[in-house]
Chains A and B, each alone.
Chain A
């Protein structure tokens, strides 16, 4: 099983990957609380970027509404925990089911009626906005005034109820990100992966080769949505507060997709590199500005814009494809 997964991965890439993973494993031992929070954010964005990449990078379906799945996943697990004391490990099943259902409903509507391209992207925004406004008025989870999880003291980690220190959440997110990476690697090499790439490149040609385009596009949305829901669960228990205005907001969806776009759409490392670069640089800039005593509202967005502009101008396929060529890792 493991041998099959590793098949076709260049040895140098494998060594680099193992080194990276080892570094990430020991990172909390050396990191301050602040750095740990940055590390968590990088992994979080890398994970969601990886999930989004299945839809856009593999199957070619642009989603601008992935905040929907983060939000639904977060609210479902948090509400079950707060109202019924159900462990998030059980609650995440509800999150996955809910998001898979939401993705399936949207995918069915779109693909059944031939909504594609930018119109499909608009539909994904519409679903996320619909959820944002809906949750603003959803009193069971306190609507727009925000839903709060009881904050425990961090003396002891309670993994079963996801109550504990940032280190625990860091490792949890690391496991999820690593699992997502392995899953996407396996998917890309599977029949479904080949069908997705074919659909991305030419739906007509794919269909002529026996690919049930409707079905495989639907699978892409459902798998991506289900994966994304897990990051919502972690998000809810890490931050302990949920506001529809924030979690479902379109700016979140845009933040999610910048990483994979800058890192390299459709690649396995793109979402990770993009997330690391954006998070490190934007937090770094905020830190530097704060240290100089400047407070410029919106500087993060301006910074994102500049990075995006530079990357798509000079590296239209993203950082990873260029980097892989440099390192001799691509075919």
Chain B
């Protein structure tokens, strides 16, 4: 059964077609990667799913319920957590307070929100920095904080927008291990946008390739990376030398 089903969503910005009829499915408990060159429309797809803007056409179905047109906070309450490609920490608050904003969604009391937030921070190895102001974190830690905040709302589906970008390979492997663990032990379903193929190949069970707002390939990671259409859009056409 698919947890998220996106059917033919499209979005134009002042006539510029960012996404034209993209469809994809994320099975319950699965990890799906959405890849494609810069400007392919990946983040636009994400924003439509997360409720930042409504699609011009198509349907987004989460747990057999149409969610297109809902506001971001309603989408979050429905069980979809997201991170931002350009991190948006609450800079003036401590790391713990940042995460507590998210955990207050399901926990009504301060004590409850605090304990959930601490658990999540521990999972992401940020617990030692809980009392520091978020503004003092390095970029890799800010990326982790994005993930921690999204997780603290206890989502069923996690949308990750390029959380590996800018990380060193070892840091990248660390965070991949965290997502694997969340997926296996907590049954968290993940849809990720990623450029770092190291992470994509390690995590994704399925890859969807977006190019010029259209889906040009989908399937198992090993097949997709050999797909001529995919190679063409990333590397250009093959030419005789």
Does A211 have its Cβ within 8 Å of any Cβ on chain B? yes
Instruction: Name the interface residues of A171-199: CB closer than 8 Å to any CB of B.
Output: 189-191, 194-195, 197-198
Q: A201-B93, A209-B76 are in contact. Are A191 and B104 (CB under 8 A)?
A: yes
Q: A197-B90, A201-B93, A202-B90 are in contact. Are A207 and B73 (CB under 8 A)?
A: yes
Please tell me if the beta carbons of B88 and A209 are within 8 angstroms of each other in the complex.
no
Does more than half of chain A's interface fall in helix, strand or loop, or is it mixed?
Answer: helix
Q: Which residue of A lies closest to B101 (CB)?
A: A198
Complex interface bits, A248-268 against B, C-beta within 8 A gives 1, otherwise 0: 000000000000000000100
Nearest Cβ on chain A to B8's Cβ, whole angstroms: 25
Total number of A residues with any Cβ neighbor in B under 8 Å: 22
Total number of B residues with any Cβ neighbor in A under 8 Å: 31
Please tell me if the beta carbons of B73 and A213 are within 8 angstroms of each other in the complex.
yes
User: What residues of chain A lie closer than 8 Å to B100, measured between beta carbons?
Assistant: 194
- Complex Cα spacing A205 to B150, Å: 10
User: What residues of chain A lie closer than 8 Å to B104, measured between beta carbons?
Assistant: 191, 194-195
- Complex Cα spacing A195 to B92, Å: 13
Please tell me if the beta carbons of A211 and B88 are within 8 angstroms of each other in the complex.
no
CB-based A-B contact count at 8 angstroms: 76
Please tell me if the beta carbons of A201 and B90 are within 8 angstroms of each other in the complex.
yes
Please tell me if the beta carbons of B102 and A210 are within 8 angstroms of each other in the complex.
yes
User: What residues of chain A lie closer than 8 Å to B211, measured between beta carbons?
Assistant: none
Complex interface bits, B130-160 against A, C-beta within 8 A gives 1, otherwise 0: 0100000000000000000110110000000
Nearest Cβ on chain A to B76's Cβ, whole angstroms: 4
Does A208 have its Cβ within 8 Å of any Cβ on chain B? yes
Does B105 have its Cβ within 8 Å of any Cβ on chain A? yes
Could you list 16 further interchain pairs (A-B, Cβ under 8 angstroms) beyond the known A190-B110, A194-B113? A195-B101, A197-B90, A198-B101, A202-B90, A204-B84, A205-B84, A207-B72, A207-B76, A208-B50, A209-B73, A209-B76, A209-B152, A209-B153, A210-B153, A211-B73, A331-B94
Interface residues, chain A, CB within 8 Å of chain B?
189-191, 194-195, 197-198, 200-202, 204-213, 266, 331
A-B contact pairs, 17 of them (CB 8 A): A194-B104, A195-B101, A197-B92, A197-B101, A201-B92, A202-B88, A204-B52, A204-B88, A205-B89, A205-B149, A208-B50, A208-B76, A209-B101, A210-B105, A211-B73, A266-B92, A331-B94
Interface residues, chain B, CB within 8 Å of chain A?
50, 52, 71-73, 76-77, 81-82, 84, 88-94, 97, 100-102, 104-105, 108, 110, 113, 131, 149-150, 152-153
